[in-house]
Structure 1
Amino acid sequence: MRFALGAVADKAGYGLEAHESLGSTNAEGLLRAEAGVSRPLWIVTSRQTAGHGRRGRAWETPSGNLAASLVVPGVADRPLAAGLGFVAGLALNSAITAVAPRAMARTVLDGYEAPGHRLALKWPNDVLLDGAKLAGVLVEVHSHEEAGLAAVVGIGVNVAAAPKDTSYPATSLAELGSDCTAADLFEALSDSWVGFYAIWNGGRGLPDIRRLWLEQAAGIGAPVAIRHGDDVIRGIFETLDDEGRLVVLTDAGSRRMIAAGEVHFGTAATMR
């Protein structure tokens, strides 16, 4: 499969490394960060054999799906780097809509409504299609002695196939009826990233990114359960705070700001 940058990304000076097969695009991205890259660099592969998601979960990407990582040098600090996950979610939603326009059709998800279309962003790092996981994002940070901090934004999308026997429902663009390829989606993604990254503006535009993300968020106003270690917090998903943390009105009536955890909405959130 031949990958290429979109015209907007190419003009903006982004780099591209395309591989037939890699263990992990994020691992490769961290190596480039260690080498001290001076411009944003995309690393993409037709097949990923040893990828990982949050909390070290395996993320295998068979041929036909998209596995890509973007190395972003010059990040001011680690908390700001986490905000790039929201940038990635917005860019993904925009790119998927561009290459698979039927994804814009209205639907009602499990216990909540998607905001006018079938795609929705799930805090902190997933894109949902009809309530099932379509894509995931993983942001990792590398500190270089001379070049400073670089973020590696890993993105995996189920284009041709979705994993089976998972603890959560998953789906693919092919199941939607889309005939787009991983290369089609990557080209659109590389361009849409440029626009949302400009809004992010080194973190200064985080309030605008937060607002845009909330407009496309899944589960606002619905029951939510967040598992963090052995602790489970239940309540209503109200909003994101200024730092991008989940704001939950708990069953006990207090408000909790959640920085990390495994999130369940709808029916799954009410199960004990």
Structure 2
Amino acid sequence: MAGYRLRSFETIGSTNTEALAAAAAGDTGGVWFVTAQQNAGRGRRGRQWESPVGNLAATLLIVPESSPTLAATLGFVAGVSLNRALSSILPSGLVKIGIDGADGQSDGSKARIALKWPNDVLADGAKLAGILLEAQKLSDGRHAIAIGFGVNAIAAPQGLPYPATSLLDLGVSRDAQSVFEALSDAWVDTFGMWNDGRGIGDVLKQWRASAAGIGAPVAVNQNGEVLRGIFETIDDEGRLIVRSDDDRRIVITAGDVHFGATASARS
């Protein structure tokens, strides 16, 4: 965790909220906010994120000198970092589960951990972790970036429309602190590669190498409208590129992504 400060809490509403409040109060960033229990966590689009005691809830506050457009690519830095951390924790081997699963890759071979655009991490095809990137403009014109990480270390939420899992479900007994240590170490290396946005090409290359579903059927739900096609790639700005059924190449900037049977369903 070289060069970063740490603020820890027993219980907190949201680590992202705490981080952005600190930025508004003048914190210059480079600080982790970690809690044993988060009781008002949120995911993308304001969705609730369950974070019971034992799971990891952490946010890194960064105030980069780069443009807002480049700062937005920190989500891919976060994804690569979390992929590295979880891959180092989870034993090798593939036991694919879940209707929304898609194989990940590592050095050309199948891998248990895969990155799902834009901000999820899958293990054996089920959601293991999520990332939430939020920005806030500061009085000096710069943007504070709160990068929230949620990892299901001991428990996964139930009743979701997609499969979810935890490290414990996968046979790995690791506490939130050890997961955080692996994540914070991986972040240092990946953030160094990003290099104020100058190295985003290298980061995206690593992200693509671990991506779930490239070359496979995909369905993207955008406010109730569903686009189906083939997940072609992630472009140099981190946007999802889908080859539609009528052979159009469509650029997607936001949406809920589904693979497998869900992507193929026509109802």
Q: Does 1:211 align with 2:177?
A: no
Q: Name the counterpart of 2:228.
A: 234
Q: How many residues align?
A: 260
Partner of 1:58: 48
Q: Gapped runs of 5+ residues in structure 2? A: none
Which structure has greater helix proportion? 1
Which residue in 2 is equivalent to 1:38? 28
Query: TM-score, normalising length from structure 1?
Result: 0.92
Aligned to 1:262: 256
User: CA deviation digits over 1:45-68, x for unaligned, max 9?
Assistant: 000000100010001200000000
Match of 1:141 in 2: 135
1:105 maps to 2:93: yes
> Separation in 2 of the partners of 1:261 and 1:237?
13
- Matching residue's letter, 1:61: S
Q: How does 1:172-211 map to 2 (within 5 A)?
A: 172-211=166-205
SS class of match (2:64):
strand
Determine the structure 2 residue equivalent to 1:128.
122
Q: Distance in 2 between matches of 1:107 and 1:202?
A: 37
TM-score, length-scaled by structure 2: 0.94
Q: How far apart are the structure 1 equivalents of 2:127 and 2:200? A: 25
Code of the residue aligned with 2:93 in structure 1: it is: A
Q: For the Cα contact (< 8 Å) 1:85–1:153, is it kept in 2?
A: yes
Residue 157, structure 1, aligned to residue 148, structure 2: no
**Identity fraction in percent:** 51
State whether residues 23 and 29 of structure 2, in contact with CA within 8 Å, keep that contact through their aligned partners in structure 1: no
Is contact 2:20–2:146 with CA below 8 Å preserved after alignment?
yes
Residue-by-residue CA offset, 1:208-254 (whole Å, 9 max, x unaligned): 11100010000000000101113211100010111000010001110
Cα deviation code 1:151-187 (max 9, x no counterpart): 1000100000000001111000000111110000001
**Residues 135-161 of structure 1: CA deviation (Å, up to 9, x unaligned):** 000000011112721110001000000
Contact 2:85 2:182 in 1 (8 A): yes
Measured against aligned partners, the alpha-carbon deviations of 1:18-67 in whole angstroms (never above 9, x if no partner) come to 10000000000110111222241100000000010001000120000000
Partner secondary structure for residue 94 of structure 1: helix
Q: Structure 1: which amino acid aligns with 2:238?
A: G
